[in-house]
């Protein structure tokens, strides 16, 4: 498998964490799609789940309606970007995948990364420490990466 490391700049990562925290209000999960040019492997923007599906956070765990992909694909098409990864939060320090997380990849494409941020993204200075990095291998199979592997990296701007 090719080493397809994804990168994101620190300012954008911080902005992302801030949004996840704000939308989760410390009481519910929130999430976002990370977009960028798939050749450059750099995340250049993100779009939160509840911007695409306003009800996606209502139950406390993320339930993303299939219709939410329509505006997502439109944005990608218009901007010439691809979905490189997704991220969502979990309460507490557990960053493993739930049954539904494993069963329903947000993008069912091999190589897609699903990141999980602990403590509903409410911790100060949340970088890649303690986050879960799960790579979809296709056919409902996943591989969990150690953060130190550099599968997903934050660059200083």
Binding site for Zn ion (CB under 5 A): 98, 101
**Nearer of residues 42 and 50 to Zn ion, judged by Cβ:** 50
Handedness of CA 146, 98, 76, 15 (dihedral sign): negative
Q: Which residue is nearest to Zn ion (CB)?
A: 101
- Spatial strand order of the sheet with 31-37 comes to 141-145, 132-138, 113-117, 82-89, 31-37, 42-48, 6-9, 152-155
**Nearer of residues 81 and 120 to Zn ion, judged by Cβ:** 120
- Least separation in angstroms between residue 78's CB and Zn ion is 29
**Nearer of residues 44 and 98 to Zn ion, judged by Cβ:** 98
- Least separation in angstroms between residue 98's CB and Zn ion is 5
- Least separation in angstroms between residue 80's CB and Zn ion is 30
- Least separation in angstroms between residue 105's CB and Zn ion is 11
Which SS3 state, helix, strand or coil, does residue 132 take? strand
**Nearer of residues 19 and 101 to Zn ion, judged by Cβ:** 101
- Least separation in angstroms between residue 90's CB and Zn ion is 5
Alpha-carbon torsion angle 114, 118, 124, 127, nearest 10: -30
User: What phi, psi does 45 have (nearest 5°)?
Assistant: -160, 170
Q: What distance in Å separates the CA atoms of residue 100 and residue 115, rounded to the nearest whole number?
A: 14
What residues does 87 pair with on adjacent strands? Answer: 32, 115
**Nearer of residues 11 and 26 to Zn ion, judged by Cβ:** 26
For residue 71, what are the contacts with CB-CB under 8 A and spacing of at least 6? 52
């Amino acid at each position: 498998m090719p080493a397809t490391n994804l990168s994101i700049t620190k300012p954008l990562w911080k902005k992302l964490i801030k949004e996840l925290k704000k939308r989760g209000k410390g009481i519910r999960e929130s999430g976002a799609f990370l977009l960028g040019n798939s050749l450059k492997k750099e995340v250049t923007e993100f779009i939160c789940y509840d911007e695409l599906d306003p009800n996606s956070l209502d139950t406390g765990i993320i339930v993303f309606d299939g219709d939410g992909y329509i505006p997502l694909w439109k944005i990608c098409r218009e901007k010439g970007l691809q979905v490189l990864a997704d991220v969502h939060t979990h309460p507490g320090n557990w960053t493993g995948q739930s049954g539904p997380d494993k069963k329903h990849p947000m993008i069912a494409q091999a190589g897609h990364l699903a990141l999980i941020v602990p403590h509903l993204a409410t911790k100060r200075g949340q970088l890649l420490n303690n986050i879960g990095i799960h790579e979809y291998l296709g056919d409902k199979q996943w591989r969990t990466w150690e953060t130190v592997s550099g599968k997903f990296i934050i660059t200083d701007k």
